[in-house]
Structure 1
Amino acid sequence: MRTGMIALALGLLALRFLPVLPPVWFWLVLPVAALMMLPFRTYPLAFFLFGFSWACANAQWALDDRLPANLDGETRWVEGRVVGLPQNGEAVVRFQLADAHSRRETVPPLIRLAWYGGPPVNSGEQWRLAVKLKRPAGLLNPHAFDYDAWLLAQRIGATGTVKDGVRLQEARWAWRDGIRQRLQAVDAQGRTGALTALVLGDGAGLSREDWQVLQDTGTVHLLVISGQHIGLLAGLVYLLIAGLPRYGLWPGRLPWLPWACGLAFAAALGYGLLAGFDVPVRRACVMIGLVLLWRLRFRHLGAWWPLLLALNAVLLLDPLASLQQGFWLSFAAVAVLIFIFGGRLGPWRWWQSWTRAQWLIAIGLGPILLILGLPISLSGPLVNLLAVPWISLVVLPPALLGTLLLPIPFVGEGLLWVAGGLIDLLFRGLALMAGRFPAWMPAAVPLWIGGLGALGALLLLMPRGVPLRPLGWPLLLLLVFPPRQLLPEGTAEIWQLDVGQGLAILVRTRHHTLLYDAGPRFGDNDLGERVVLPTLRKLGVSGLDLMLISHAHADHAGGAQAVAKGLPVRRVLSGEPLELPTELQAEACESGRQWTWDGVQFALWQWAAARESNPKSCVLQIEANGERLLLTGDIDTAAERALLDSPLAVTTDWLQSPHHGSRSSSSPALLAALQPAAALISRGQGNAFGHPHPTVLARYRQRGMAIHDSAEQGAIRLQLGQFKPAWTMRQERRFWRPAP
């Protein structure tokens, strides 16, 4: 039976790694084939086929619920009910609309919406909204968070921006949102957001600085409700009921054991529902239920059997859960703990168990964090020694009890005030540790190195005396110091990152690195911090020899401060140095300046007569083995005419489309002089400026130019000097992504 359960889990997990879904007829035939195999003792294969077909069916249903292509970018009136916990920010309100329908069109049943300057929205309300609909799509960069996969896992079929709306019905049956509103009204000593995250699993109230502190110290799991919280509450309820009979406080006519098990599971389930019943919570509830069932029936289930059943239960309920990072971390953490404490020749003392568990979990989860592209906390093992019992034993009881007693005047508020103060003390300590030991964002490694590192971690988790155990250290160190592949002399690697309506281009030679523009920043949405900096680190960039900011507009220069804060930058040049923050210490773009890095030639140009920001863009030409790339910023037609009188007006293989393909740029004269073979366009999907303009695209196509558009293809990679075609992220096939 256990073999069959493993096979079922493998079939369900196989979905995560499919480049494309098999045709419908194929996964419809699989259950029939599986039934035919059962009598021939090939039940493991039958279970695998059952799991695989069920996972493919769910994925296909989710894909079929996506917004039709003909409605992409269209505005329609949509009716539906607000679900989940809306984020009512000052500038924008974000929420999900369920049971969505439109009178004349078929729209997905679940839509994620943003309403800029909109009124507060509460869960359970019925709304009629004018929505500009968009197909699910996110920024696509190497080794970055896959927003497309996350939307599919949440079964969100469309996103959109609300233009207008009318509330049709007040909130009904929105008890989680009601509790959140009560919590937000409580004085929690400035830690209402953290308290809400701990009680309801809603991290929207945590500031960006709070998230950074939690990430740096490896304590995100403490405020994002995990199995630890659920298990602790169930254990406390069980021990409370089990202790009552000893003091004669339990009715003799009622058997205490069934009641203890039942109430403990009810407490776990109730807390899980309060937290939104995400994957870690579902896994914990299933495992707790199995353990309590074993306790009730006095049967020995072992440790791995409940984990295996929980894995299958979660995947059967939602096969798309495997697309989420939290799924892998949740089950991996429990598996590491079981492996650590199982099969030992003798028990550890309690303090040995506690201290060893922390650093062994860090070793066990390190390769998984690296493969998932997540930061690794250097201080996590030490911090969690104190933070875990502080949250679990000191903060959580008054937080939950205070929430339960909120209807009683002063009692609930008082307990939550105490819990808020305790959380504030924790954050003060975490901030001190995060300032000294920030999280480490390692460079992405090839799959074979990740596999060797995982093998090394497995060896180190083995008990002492196991042969080859010391070999785990050098294997694990491969993740920290992977072999570096240097570029050939005279060539350059170019990455045009996918930063939406902005520009960020990474240029690397054998020993040098340059960043041309740093991505946009609009208000608190800093893509330099969110996208550019993490991507540079994962690509192995440890510092920049030069950051060249073409001009000072926010879509090109907005992310510069975040990049300069996160990486050492030797020099900053710009077409508008005085308009940039003084912290950057930017120097002026020197028109006519040239230099060579590792056999690759660079040359700068700027229109001296420019009066506005866009024409002042600093232009960069890169030449490697005779293959040229021209980075133009946002120059317009007038600046292009001046460029034609410069030494840069030579045949060019790759042209970064000026001003994102605006109608005011890419003049016929420029294209005739440069004769580019391909254009690189960096822009946001469905942007308000209409970039790229159809007239410009027509010019490109008329000349037979290849067009590479970040909004359609994601990040784009060139191997300058090798005369190879461009490679785009869409070519890395995943079944949830549209084909390139």
Structure 2
Amino acid sequence: MRTGMLALAAGLLCLRALPQLPPLGWLPLLALAGLVLLAFRRYAVALFLLGFSWACLQAHWALADRLAPELDGQTLWLEGQVVGLPENGGAVQRFLLEEVTSRRAVLPRRMRLAWYAGPVVSSGERWRLAVKLKSPSGLLNPHGFDREAWLLAQRIGATGTIKDGQRLAAAAGSWRDGIRQRMLQVDARGQSATLVALVLGDGSGLSTETWQLLQDTGTVHLLVISGQHIGLFAALVYALVAGAARYGLWPRRLPWVPWACALAFAAALGYGLLAGFGIPVQRACAMIGLVLLWRLRYRHLGVGWPLLLALDLVLVVEPLASLRPGFWLSFAAVTVLIFCFAGRLGAWSPWQTWTRAQWTIALGLVPLLLALGLPISLSGPWVNLVAVPWISLAVLPLALLGTLALPLPWIGESLLWLAGGLLEILFQGLDLVATQLPAWLPDTLPPWAWGLGSLGILLLLLPAGVPLRPLGWPLAALVVLSPPSRVPEGHAEVWQLDVGQGLAILVRTRHHSLLYDAGPRFGEFDLGQRVVLPSLRKLGVRQLDLMLLSHADADHAGGALAIRDGLPVSRVISGDARGLPKRLRAGDCSSGERWQWDGVSFELWQWPAAQDSNQRSCVLQVEARGERLLLTGDIDTRAEQAFLESLLAVGTDWLQAPHHGSRSSSSMSFLQRLAPRAVLISRGRGNSFGHPHPQVMARYQALGMAVHDSAEQGAVRLLLGAFGGAQSQREQRRFWR
């Protein structure tokens, strides 16, 4: 039976690795083959085929419920009901709309919409909205967050921006939203949003700084409802019933064991519904239910059975759950604990058990965190020794009791105020730790180093005295000491990162790194912090020798401060230094300045007669072994004509499209003189500027240039000096792209 359950899980999990789904017509045949094999008691193969066909069928249905390509970018009136908890992020609200209908087109059943400066939207309301529709997509960078997979896992078939709308019906049954609004009105020492995250699992009110603090200290799991919270609450209810029975306070006519199990499971389900019933909550409720069922029957339950059954149940209910990082982290954490604590000989003191639980989870999750490209907290094992009991035994009970007591005057508010005070003390301590020891985002490891490092960590998790266990230390050290990949001498590795409507290009030689523009920032949405900085770290950049900001526009220089704060930067220069924040201490672009790094030549140019920031863009030419790249910023046709009079106006292999392919740039004379064989376009999908302009694209095509567009291909990499082609992130096939 255990083998069959493992086979079922394997079939369901295969979906995550598929580059392409099998044809829909094959799936009934696979399922039929599985049923036939099941009749012949070939359970392992049968359950694998059934799980695989079920997961693929669900993926086909989810993909079929996506926005039709011809509707991408169109604005339609539609109707639907708001579900879940709307995210109120200052000037913008984001929420899910279900049961979507329109008179003009067939639309996906579920959408994620954004409303800028709109009225307050509540869960359960029905709205008629004018929405500019977008196909589900996202930025795609090396080892970065895959938004398309995240949207598909939630079966979101379209996104969009609301232009206008009217409420058709008031909220019906939005009890979670009502509780949230009531909690946010309570004076909780500035921690109301944190308490909402802890009780309701809604972290939309937490600031970017708070998330970064939790990430640095490895305490995100404390404010994202997890199995720990659910299990603690169920155990508390069970213990109360057991204690009452022991001291004669439980009615004798009621058998206490069935009642304790039933009430504990009801408590787990109730807390799970309050928290939104996410994947970690589903896993926890399934495991708690199985443990209580075996307890009720007075049978010993092997520690692996509840986890395996929970895994199969979660995946059968929602096979697309495997596309979400939280699914893997949730089950991996419990697996590590079971592996390290089950069947060990000898008694451990409570302190030994507690400390070993922390370091085993921290160590055991390292391979998975590396594979998912997530940061690793160096302080987490020590911080959690205090933070976990602080939250679990003090803050959480007060927060839950305070939430339940909100209808009672003063009582609920007082309990939440006290819980907020305890959270404030905890966050002050976390801030001190994070300042001294932030999270570590390691370089991307080669597969051999990741494999050997994971083997080493597995050896270290084995019991003491197991042969070969000491070899775990040198193998695990490969995670930290693995030699970074080096750019060949005389070559330059170039990455055009996918930053939407903006620009950020990394140029690396063997021992030096240069960043040309830093990505956009619009209000609190800083792509320099969210995309560029993590991408640089994952690519092995630990410092920048030069950050060259072509000019001061927010889509080119908006992320510069976040990068300057997150990485050592030796020098900053710009074509419009006066328009940049003084903290950057940017120098002026010196036209004609030249230098060499590791056999690669660099030279700057700027139009001295420029009249605006775009025209003042600092242009950079990079040459490696005779192959040239020209980075142009946002120069227009007048600046281009001036450039043609310079010594840099020579044959160029790679051209960064001036001004994102704007109509006011990429003149025919400019393109004919440079005669690039390929052009790099960095722009946002469906941007309001219409970049790149059709006339500009027609010029590129007429001259036979290959076009590499970040909106269509994600981040693009090329090796200057090798005279080869470019590789894009979308070339790494996944069935959802």
Which amino acid in the other structure matches residue 709 of structure 2? Answer: D
Q: Is the 8 A contact 2:89 2:204 kept in 1?
A: no
- Does residue 1:453 correspond to 2:453, yes or no? yes
Q: What is the CA deviation profile of residues 471-525 of structure 1, one whole-angstrom value per residue up to 9, with x for unaligned ones?
A: 1111111111212232211111000000000000000011111000000001000
Once residues 367 and 477 of structure 1 are traced to their aligned partners in structure 2, the CA distance between those partners, rounded to angstroms, is 12
Once residues 382 and 489 of structure 2 are traced to their aligned partners in structure 1, the CA distance between those partners, rounded to angstroms, is 44
**Cα deviation, residue 46, structure 1:** 0.6
Once residues 578 and 6 of structure 2 are traced to their aligned partners in structure 1, the CA distance between those partners, rounded to angstroms, is 63
Residue 345 of structure 1 is matched in structure 2 by 345
Residue 388 of structure 1 is matched in structure 2 by 388
Which amino acid in the other structure matches residue 322 of structure 1? Answer: S
Which amino acid in the other structure matches residue 629 of structure 2? Answer: L
Residue pairs, 1:97-108, within 5 angstroms: 97-108=97-108
User: SS of the residue aligned with 2:273?
Assistant: helix
Residue pairs, 1:53-452, within 5 angstroms: 53-452=53-452
Once residues 164 and 39 of structure 2 are traced to their aligned partners in structure 1, the CA distance between those partners, rounded to angstroms, is 60
**Cα deviation, residue 88, structure 1:** 2.6
Once residues 206 and 225 of structure 1 are traced to their aligned partners in structure 2, the CA distance between those partners, rounded to angstroms, is 14
Which amino acid in the other structure matches residue 79 of structure 2? Answer: E
- Does residue 1:553 correspond to 2:564, yes or no? no
- Decide which moves more: 442-451 or 704-713: 442-451
Superposed CA RMSD: 0.8
User: SS of the residue aligned with 2:164?
Assistant: strand
Which amino acid in the other structure matches residue 525 of structure 1? Answer: F
User: SS of the residue aligned with 2:63?
Assistant: helix
Q: What is the CA deviation profile of residues 275-320 of structure 1, one whole-angstrom value per residue up to 9, with x for unaligned ones?
A: 0000000000000001101110011221001100000000001000
Once residues 81 and 39 of structure 1 are traced to their aligned partners in structure 2, the CA distance between those partners, rounded to angstroms, is 45
Residue 634 of structure 1 is matched in structure 2 by 634
Once residues 217 and 57 of structure 2 are traced to their aligned partners in structure 1, the CA distance between those partners, rounded to angstroms, is 40
**Cα deviation, residue 582, structure 1:** 1.4
Residue 682 of structure 2 is matched in structure 1 by 682
Once residues 452 and 59 of structure 2 are traced to their aligned partners in structure 1, the CA distance between those partners, rounded to angstroms, is 31
**Cα deviation, residue 595, structure 1:** 1.0
Once residues 680 and 597 of structure 1 are traced to their aligned partners in structure 2, the CA distance between those partners, rounded to angstroms, is 23
Which amino acid in the other structure matches residue 512 of structure 1? Answer: H
Residue 478 of structure 2 is matched in structure 1 by 478
**Cα deviation, residue 246, structure 1:** 2.0
Residue pairs, 1:482-493, within 5 angstroms: 482-493=482-493
**Cα deviation, residue 272, structure 1:** 0.4
Once residues 106 and 38 of structure 2 are traced to their aligned partners in structure 1, the CA distance between those partners, rounded to angstroms, is 41
Residue 722 of structure 2 is matched in structure 1 by 722
Q: Structure 1 length as normaliser, TM-score? A: 0.99
Q: Is the 8 A contact 2:88 2:204 kept in 1?
A: no
- Decide which moves more: 84-93 or 294-303: 84-93
Which amino acid in the other structure matches residue 60 of structure 2? Answer: Q
Once residues 90 and 222 of structure 2 are traced to their aligned partners in structure 1, the CA distance between those partners, rounded to angstroms, is 27
**Cα deviation, residue 611, structure 1:** 1.2
Residue 468 of structure 1 is matched in structure 2 by 468
Q: Is the 8 A contact 2:88 2:205 kept in 1?
A: no
- Does residue 1:578 correspond to 2:578, yes or no? yes
**Cα deviation, residue 129, structure 1:** 0.1
Residue pairs, 1:562-573, within 5 angstroms: 562-573=562-573
Q: Is the 8 A contact 2:184 2:192 kept in 1?
A: yes
Residue 15 of structure 1 is matched in structure 2 by 15
- Decide which moves more: 142-151 or 366-375: 366-375
Residue pairs, 1:591-630, within 5 angstroms: 591-630=591-630
Which amino acid in the other structure matches residue 99 of structure 1? Answer: E
**Cα deviation, residue 42, structure 1:** 2.1
**Cα deviation, residue 346, structure 1:** 1.0
Q: Is the 8 A contact 2:89 2:205 kept in 1?
A: no
User: SS of the residue aligned with 2:423?
Assistant: helix
Q: What is the CA deviation profile of residues 352-407 of structure 1, one whole-angstrom value per residue up to 9, with x for unaligned ones?
A: 00111111211101111111111111110000000000000011111101111111
Once residues 39 and 403 of structure 1 are traced to their aligned partners in structure 2, the CA distance between those partners, rounded to angstroms, is 52
Once residues 369 and 627 of structure 1 are traced to their aligned partners in structure 2, the CA distance between those partners, rounded to angstroms, is 38
Q: What is the CA deviation profile of residues 431-461 of structure 1, one whole-angstrom value per residue up to 9, with x for unaligned ones?
A: 1111111111111112332222211111001
Residue 537 of structure 1 is matched in structure 2 by 537
Once residues 448 and 151 of structure 1 are traced to their aligned partners in structure 2, the CA distance between those partners, rounded to angstroms, is 31
Residue 699 of structure 2 is matched in structure 1 by 699
Equivalent residue pairs, number = 737
User: SS of the residue aligned with 2:611?
Assistant: coil
Once residues 655 and 88 of structure 1 are traced to their aligned partners in structure 2, the CA distance between those partners, rounded to angstroms, is 41
Residue 733 of structure 1 is matched in structure 2 by 733
Once residues 559 and 250 of structure 1 are traced to their aligned partners in structure 2, the CA distance between those partners, rounded to angstroms, is 62
**Cα deviation, residue 555, structure 1:** 0.4
Once residues 446 and 309 of structure 1 are traced to their aligned partners in structure 2, the CA distance between those partners, rounded to angstroms, is 34
Once residues 289 and 454 of structure 2 are traced to their aligned partners in structure 1, the CA distance between those partners, rounded to angstroms, is 31
Which amino acid in the other structure matches residue 174 of structure 2? Answer: A
Once residues 31 and 299 of structure 2 are traced to their aligned partners in structure 1, the CA distance between those partners, rounded to angstroms, is 33
**Cα deviation, residue 693, structure 1:** 0.2
Once residues 536 and 481 of structure 2 are traced to their aligned partners in structure 1, the CA distance between those partners, rounded to angstroms, is 17
User: SS of the residue aligned with 2:161?
Assistant: strand
Q: Is the 8 A contact 2:499 2:684 kept in 1?
A: yes
User: Gaps spanning 5+ residues in structure 1: where?
Assistant: none
- Decide which moves more: 321-330 or 445-454: 445-454
User: SS of the residue aligned with 2:13?
Assistant: helix
- Decide which moves more: 85-94 or 396-405: 85-94
User: SS of the residue aligned with 2:307?
Assistant: helix
Once residues 655 and 73 of structure 1 are traced to their aligned partners in structure 2, the CA distance between those partners, rounded to angstroms, is 28
User: SS of the residue aligned with 1:502?
Assistant: coil
Q: Structure 2 length as normaliser, TM-score? A: 0.99
Once residues 448 and 597 of structure 1 are traced to their aligned partners in structure 2, the CA distance between those partners, rounded to angstroms, is 30
Once residues 301 and 24 of structure 2 are traced to their aligned partners in structure 1, the CA distance between those partners, rounded to angstroms, is 38
Which amino acid in the other structure matches residue 664 of structure 1? Answer: S
Which amino acid in the other structure matches residue 378 of structure 1? Answer: L
Residue 655 of structure 2 is matched in structure 1 by 655
- Decide which moves more: 479-488 or 663-672: 479-488
**Cα deviation, residue 727, structure 1:** 0.4
Once residues 230 and 447 of structure 2 are traced to their aligned partners in structure 1, the CA distance between those partners, rounded to angstroms, is 34
User: SS of the residue aligned with 1:417?
Assistant: helix
User: Gaps spanning 5+ residues in structure 2: where?
Assistant: none
